[in-house]
Amino acid sequence: MAWLVTGGAGYIGSHVVRALAAEGLDPVVLDDLSSGLEEFVPAEVPFVRGSILDGEVLVDTIDRHGITGVVHVAGYKYAGVSVQRPLHTYEQNVTGTSRLLAAMADRSVDRIVFSSSAAVYGVPPTDTVTESTPKAPESPYGESKLIGEWLLRDQAVAVGLRHTSLRYFNVVGSGEQNLYDASPHNLFPLVFQALLEGRTPSINGDDYDTPDGTCVRDYVHVADLAVSHAAAAKRLDAGETLESAYNLGSGDGVSVREIMTAMAEATGIPFEPVVAPRRPGDPDRIVAEGALAARDLDWKMRHTLLEMVSSAWEARRAAA
């Protein structure tokens, strides 16, 4: 039995590939390398360069590699940019997911773990998010992820698809020194790049209703996230029933200023962040309750904030 990891050459997907292999689940990677890197795929793991928009490639990959399950990580992941590129976002995340599900149904592949997002909640009415918190996405990206969850739900009714969706919050860190976050939009790479270029990172507002005045958010280590994907795959393989969706969150959260302090310590580059104006609509605090995932998917916070930052910095320096 083999598990297809779409987007398996990306930052998150490559960690999922390693977690699956560690649990004896044979991973196969499909990635178009639009943002992933082929060197992130272990040499012993089969790699197919192709798009989830290509139904023929999907069916051929399933047939050639004996695929029995899918971890669907591929997609367009830039929430802010999705506002300027809504059609591209929907094509990649909605049409792509639909074609993947069609190929799975055509070849009787009946289990999938879906990479969803905290963006399905938008700006929630409460500062602690549970799986039942109302969904109110505020970007095409968030909307596309929620539609992806609906597609799985409806396909389950239609053909008996067994599925779960894992909602990510802020994914950081590195599980191996050669795997790093190359996103041009995420906080950690942006801060690292500023420090490497001799610029001072900034904080957007320091007058929020939080202990140190800066926004509190949920940050989770990418390797911890990957472990829960493998746990979900194993339970689906065993024929067990899972919840339709799980939050992968800390239940606690850290402030932006705490992140900056950890950045200075981990990098050895002392700095005092510049305080920039607030961004409109930024809530004081958003933290996710991860109790359901802890119960079912071996979810827990195995890394401290400093370990998250240090591992990310070491991987970024190794890539320089």
**SS3 letters for the chain?**
CEEEEECCCCHHHHHHHHHHHHCCCEEEEEECCCCCCHHHCCCCCCEEECCCCCHHHHHHHHHHHCEEEEEECCCCCCHHHHCCCHHHHHHHHHHHHHHHHHHHHHCCCCEEEEEEEHHHHCCCCCCEECCCCCCCCCCHHHHHHHHHHHHHHHHHHHHCCEEEEEEECEEECCCCCCCCCCCCCCHHHHHHHHHHCCCCCEEECCCCCCCCCCCEECEEEHHHHHHHHHHHHHHHHCCCCCCCEEEECCCCCEEHHHHHHHHHHHHCCCCCCEEECCCCCCCCECEECCHHHHHHCCCCCCCCHHHHHHHHHHHHHHHC
For 181-199, write each residue's pLDDT tens digit: 988 888 899 999 999 999 9
Residue 319 pLDDT = 84
Cβ density class 136-149: b for 16+ within 10 Å, e for less: ebebbbbbbbbbbb
Residue 62 pLDDT = 98
Say yes or no to pLDDT of 281 above 80.
Answer: no
Say yes or no to pLDDT of 291 above 80.
Answer: yes
Residue 102 pLDDT = 98
Residue 183 pLDDT = 87
For 7-59, write each residue's pLDDT tens digit: 999 999 999 999 999 999 999 999 999 999 999 999 999 999 999 999 999 99
Residue 275 pLDDT = 94
Say yes or no to pLDDT of 272 above 80.
Answer: yes
pLDDT > 90: percent of the chain: 88
One of 11, 76, 90, 141 is an active-site residue; which one?
141
Say whether 141 is catalytic: yes
Say yes or no to pLDDT of 162 above 80.
Answer: yes
For 257-270, write each residue's pLDDT tens digit: 999 999 999 999 99
Task: Name 128's Cβ contacts closer than 8 Å, sequence gap at least 6.
Answer: 251, 287, 288, 289
Domain spans of the chain, in order of start: 2-171+220-248, 172-218+250-287+302-319
Residue 182 pLDDT = 86
Average pLDDT, the chain: 95
For 87-115, write each residue's pLDDT tens digit: 999 999 999 999 999 999 999 999 999 99
Residue 280 pLDDT = 75
For 217-231, write each residue's pLDDT tens digit: 999 999 999 999 999
pLDDT confidence of 160, banded at 50, 70, 90? Answer: very high
Residue 1 pLDDT = 80
Average pLDDT, integer, range 67-75: 98
Say yes or no to pLDDT of 236 above 90.
Answer: yes
The CATH label, of 3.40.50.1980, 1.10.10.10, 3.90.25.10, 3.30.70.560, for the domain at 172-218+250-287+302-319 is 3.90.25.10
Residue 185 pLDDT = 84
CATH number of the structural domain 2-171+220-248: 3.40.50.720
For 106-152, write each residue's pLDDT tens digit: 999 999 999 999 999 998 888 899 999 999 998 999 999 999 999 99
Average pLDDT, integer, range 232-236: 98
